[in-house]
Amino acid sequence: MIGGFSIESVIEILYILLPLIIVSAIVLFVIKRLQYKYKRGTLGKKKSKSSQILLDSLIPLGMLMGTIISMFLSMFSQINFLSAISLGPGIGFLFGYFAYEIFSKKEEASS
């Protein structure tokens, strides 16, 4: 027993909090990277308005795709639905940020 809790209940609490901790770390990483790029003035800029709208929409689209994929994975596997719903948008947020980085550098390479 640890402080009145059994080992099983401590492990269960950690299992419940683990998705929140993972998503929090992802969100902090992405926000700090975007804040750093904003302060340096190196955020992605596109010449055409439609390209800029797509660039600005990549992170929310990544979150939406992550949510959809996590819902399907939780239906067809033994992943807990609530864990999948919390991890999916967080991982999609990270992939959306990576897509943002790649798409924002694509114009610089062709110039």
Predicted local confidence at residue 16, as pLDDT: 85
- pLDDT < 70 stretches in the chain: 1-3, 107-111
61-81 residue pLDDT tens: 999 999 999 999 999 988 888
Give the long-range contacts of residues 30-35, CB within 8 A, separation 24 or more: 30/59, 30/93, 30/94, 30/97, 33/97, 34/97
* 84: CB partners within 8 A, 6+ apart: 70, 71, 73, 74
Predicted local confidence at residue 1, as pLDDT: 60
Residue reference for tokens 């897509």: 99
Contact, 99 vs 62, CB < 8 A? Answer: yes
- Distance of alpha carbon 111 from alpha carbon 107, whole angstroms: 6
Contact, 22 vs 90, CB < 8 A? Answer: yes
Predicted local confidence at residue 72, as pLDDT: 92
Would you call 70 exposed, middle or buried from its count of C-beta atoms within 10 A (0-12, 13-18, 19+)?
Answer: buried
Q: How far is CA 106 from the centre of its chain?
A: 22
